[in-house]
Amino acid sequence: MPISDAKHRIIAGMQSMISIKDLSKVYAGGFTALKSVSLDIDRGEIFALLGPNGAGKTTLINIVCGIVNASGGSVEVDGYDIQRDFRQTRTRIGLVPQEMASESFETVWNTCSFSRGLFGKPPSPEYLEKVLRSLSLWDKRDTITMQLSGGMKRRVLIAKALAHEPEVLFLDEPTAGVDVELRQDMWNVVSALRDQGVTVILTTHYIEEAEQLADRVGVINHGEIILVEQKAKLMRDLGKKQLVLNLQEPLSEVPAELKDYGLELSDDHNDLTFTYDTARERTGITALLGDLSKAGIHFNDLHTSQSSLEEIFVDLVKRPQ
Ligand SMILES: Nc1ncnc2c1ncn2[C@@H]1O[C@H](COP(=O)(O)OP(=O)(O)OP(=O)(O)O)[C@@H](O)[C@H]1O
Ligand SMILES: [Mg+2]
């Protein structure tokens, strides 16, 4: 690296934490897993990468972490190139892999402190204790990891990834196979990391996880990033809202004069659902309520529901390429 570290820091300070440019990956068998992916991850954000099985999420993460070689393009982490400055980039990164590595005969404590040592950090029992406690692993610190349950092993992977105090944490399906209560605990751990300034990139099939945690969401499909957006904006722009009217009297069918509203009658004929676009200036609700009343249709109750990130995601990946 020709420039001094201090100068480097100043330059890096103006950049994203991770900058991916035109990244491609063709596996040995000839399969193209990534097609010219470009993506910038801001410092301190939680970025959720969503995509169906085989979309290329793990490939992308593994390239950034130096486990898989790219076929083309470049990646910088904190301003350092992942190939040229591998040691610089690798020490900044913690990775919780999707696949569990071979079973270990080491204790939880030793696994984590050894990992810290590998990155050249001096021992810090206080820090490790804090990490293990935050992941509810403190009581298991002297247990051989092989003898832990699946969900505990997954938490050990997180503790191990955090052991060297990384600035960027990759979580490749962190809560797969973790029970609901623990998942909430892990979300708290991730939020706390963000509060400490750690940049977090996670992949998940529990879209609720992205909905809860992420600042931004990227959707990848067939090796291409098809969308990157602030989560809140994504949900606002692509989310549809529904108004459900619980009728006083069951309705045999939607009257012809109301057909332009695209109302759906429930199977038990008791509810009418109106779907509207929140981005539109006029939702049509006022007109609908007026026309319902004119048609002699009265309701007991009404409520609205907003589509979840999950529904938005399913819509996105179903779109023709
Ligand atoms: N070592 C490999 N050799 C050949 N092809 C591979 C290899 N690893 C992954 N692939 C292929 O690359 C594509 C992307 O795989 P990847 O593991 O990145 O997907 P993913 O988005 O992480 O999926 P999942 O949600 O199932 O974890 C898949 O079609 C996969 O079969
Ligand atoms: Mg994967």
Residue 255, pLDDT above cutoff 70: yes
Q: Which ligand is nearest to the CA of 220?
A: 1
Residue 3, pLDDT above cutoff 60: no
CATH number of 239-318: 3.30.70
Quick one: 5-235 is in which CATH superfamily? P-loop containing nucleotide triphosphate hydrolases (3.40.50.300)
pLDDT by residue (tens digit) across 258-274?
Answer: 988 999 999 999 999 99
**pLDDT reported for residue 10:** 53
Question: Which atom of ligand 1 is found nearest the CA of 52?
Answer: 25
**pLDDT reported for residue 1:** 45
pLDDT by residue (tens digit) across 172-208?
Answer: 998 887 788 888 888 888 999 999 999 999 998 887 8
pLDDT by residue (tens digit) across 201-242?
Answer: 999 888 788 888 999 999 999 999 999 999 888 877 776 788
Identify which has the larger pLDDT, 12 or 261: 261
Using a 10 angstrom Cβ sphere, with 0-12 exposed, 13-18 middle and 19 or more buried, the burial of residue 23 is buried
99 lines ligand 1 (CB under 6 A): no
What is the dihedral angle through the alpha carbons of 201, 41, 50, 220, rounded to the nearest 10 degrees? -140
Per-domain residue ranges for the chain?
5-235, 239-318
**Mean pLDDT of the region 137-148:** 95
Report how far Cα 272 is from the mean position of its chain's Cα atoms.
34
pLDDT confidence band for 49 (50 / 70 / 90): very high
Report CA(229)–ligand 1 centroid distance (Å). Answer: 24
pLDDT by residue (tens digit) across 300-315?
Answer: 998 887 767 777 777 7
Report CA(49)–ligand 1 centroid distance (Å). Answer: 14
Report CA(205)–ligand 2 centroid distance (Å). Answer: 10
Report CA(77)–ligand 1 centroid distance (Å). Answer: 23
Residues with CB under 5 A from ligand 2 (ion): 57-58, 98
98 lines ligand 1 (CB under 6 A): yes
Residue 7, pLDDT above cutoff 60: no
Using a 10 angstrom Cβ sphere, with 0-12 exposed, 13-18 middle and 19 or more buried, the burial of residue 226 is middle
pLDDT confidence band for 50 (50 / 70 / 90): very high
Quote the percentage of the chain above a pLDDT of 70: 92
pLDDT confidence band for 281 (50 / 70 / 90): low
Average pLDDT score over the chain: 88
Residue 252, pLDDT above cutoff 70: yes
**pLDDT reported for residue 111:** 94
Mutation test residue for ligand 1: of 32, 34, 53, the one with most atoms within 8 Å of CB: 53
- Give the per-residue SS3 of the chain: CCCCHHHHHHHHHCCCCEEEEEEEEECCCCCEEEEEEEEEECCCCEEEEECCCCCCHHHHHHHHCCCCCCCEEEEEECCEECCCCHHHHHHHEEEECCCCCCCCCCEHHHHHHHHHHHCCCCCCHHHHHHHHHHCCCHHHCCCEHHHCCHHHHHHHHHHHHHCCCCCEEEEECCCCCCCHHHHHHHHHHHHHHHHCCCEEEEECCCHHHHHHHCCEEEEEECCEEEEEEEHHHHHHHHCEEEEEEEECCCCCCCCHHHHHHCCEECCCCCEEEEEEECCCCCCCHHHHHHHHHHCCCCEEEEEEEECCHHHHHHHHHHCCC
pTM of the model: 0.80
